[in-house]
Structure 1
Amino acid sequence: MDDSKEAESQLNEKLYETRMKFANLWESCNPVRFKQKYGESLKITRDRCIEIYEEEKQMCDKVEITKKNIAEQNALIKKMQEDLQIANQKFESNNKQKQEMLKKIKQLKEELAKKQELISTQKQENKAKLKELNTSAEMFKKRMGLEIRRVHGEQLQFIFKCINSKNPEQLFTFLLRFNEEGNYEVMSCDPPLECMPLLQEKLKETNNLSAFLANVRKAFAALV
């Protein structure tokens, strides 16, 4: 009897479980309930798709902004590279000009040093020639009535007297200077002598001032 009740109780539990499973299955297969759950699932899926779409749209916008920034950076880098290249070219050009300028300055210094040396040499030679002139002047002053005056810096005026026997005080003059080459050069002559260029050329060749003065005096005497 007790075994019969226990079997009945187990049977009832099995039936209850079967009924509950059937009820759940029926509920899940119920078209109304199914539509409701399908709609809820569809809304969730749609909302998620919209959310994903918005996220992807924002991501695309960020990608475009990033591309634009990269393009701007690339353009800026290219501009900086071009500016750097131009700056390097200018630097090389300026450096080349600097080297050329230094070379020219060196050449000018060398040329200046040579000119200063030449000028110094010419000054020494001129001093020697002036000394020679003074010596010759004393001799000619005694013998030929010659007087030498310094005028206009390095120019010398030679004044002859006692050439015209009728008028011993008559003056015969010429102006002499040292040119840039250090040679004697006659600037003027009173009265003029046609032979003066020849006498001056001979003086340049021989550098014999005494002979030149003697020849000039003879030329002046020939005019009387």
Structure 2
Amino acid sequence: MECKEQQGKRGLISSMDNFKEDSSNQLNDKLNETRMKLFNMWESCNLTGLKQKYGESLKMIKERCFEIYEEEKEMYDKVQLAKMAIAEQNALVEKMQEDIQIANQKFESDEKQKQEVLEKIEQLKEEFAKKQEFIYTHNQENKAKLKELNRSAELFKRRMGLEIRRVYGEQLQFIFKYINSKNPEQLFTFLLKFNEEGNYEVMSCDPPLECMPLLQEKLKETNNFPAFLANVRKAFIALV
């Protein structure tokens, strides 16, 4: 009985093994069939043709894009040229308007300018006449002052050893002697001129006198030149 059971088990195991083998064989057959179908489909696709068509399409797209770029660039340049031309025309129009406005203003102001020029000429004539009168008066005053200086110089020359020399055009040099009793020939000098206002102006003094500005201001107030010379001589004596 045990032998029958064992025989039955062996038959069952053998049947199962046969089933597994058949199933495995069927699966392998299906896989091989599928593999062959895929391979055939892959081979049926013309990859070279697809690549060529893709390259041609890409080239056409690039060429068209470049044409569009060139057209837009040319259009942009034309727009810029048109803007420049418009700006130049506007500037020319503005310049013409300014010229017309200036011409109108000049035309309108001609009579006014003519009147102003005539008034200016009359004003210059009056100023010139006043200037001539001032110069004449100034010269007369200077001549009178020079005459007074000469008269005073003669007096001081006789009494005080004063000598006057004309130097540097209108400037006069006053030279005193007999100031220093120990050295009577020692020279004490100052340089004088008439300034633009017609007043006396001391340019230099040797030896220097601290009181010279005060003496000069007093001369301006009193116009007494002999007294001025006397005061200068006293100041020189005080230095000895």
Q: CA deviation at 1:108?
A: 1.9
Distance 1:152 1:104 in 2: 38
Partner SS for 1:222: helix
Counterpart residue number, 1:199: 215
C-alpha distance after superposition, 1:145-202 (max 9, x if no partner): 0000111121111000110011111111111111111111111111110000000000
TM-score, normalised to structure 1's length?
0.60
Equivalent residue for 2:154?
Answer: 138
Instruction: Give every structure 1 segment of 4 or more consecutive aligned residues whose post-TM-superposition deviation is greater than 4 Å.
Output: 85-88
1:163 alignment partner, SS class? coil
- SS of 1:147 mapped into structure 2: strand
Matching residue within 108, 115, 122 for 1:92: 108
1:96 is displaced (CA, Å) by: 1.8
Calculate the aligned-residue CA RMSD, in Å: 1.9
For 2:123 and 2:148, locate their aligned partners in 1 and report how far apart those are by CA, in whole Å: 37
Kindly state the Cα deviation for residue 87 of structure 1 after the two structures are TM-superposed.
4.3
Aligned-partner Cα distance in 2 for 1:198–1:86: 61
Deviation at 1:113, TM superposition (A): 1.1
Question: What are the Cα deviations for residues 52-89 of structure 1, in whole angstroms up to 9, with x where unaligned?
Answer: xxxxxxxxxxxxxxxxxxxxxxxxxxx9xx95x86453
Q: Give the TM-score normalised by the residue count of structure 2.
A: 0.56
> What is residue 124 of structure 2 aligned with on the other side?
108
The Cα of 1:93 is off from its aligned counterpart by 1.7
SS in 1 for 2:121: helix
- Provide the residue aligned with 1:155 in structure 2: 171
User: Any gaps of 5 or more consecutive residues in structure 2?
Assistant: 1-95
Residue identity in the other structure for 1:137: A
* SS of alignment partner, residue 107 of structure 2: helix
Tell me the equivalent position of 1:223: 239
What number of residue pairs does the alignment pair up? 143
Aligned to 2:188: 172
Aligned equivalent of 2:70: none
Specify the code of the residue in structure 2 equivalent to 1:193.
Answer: L
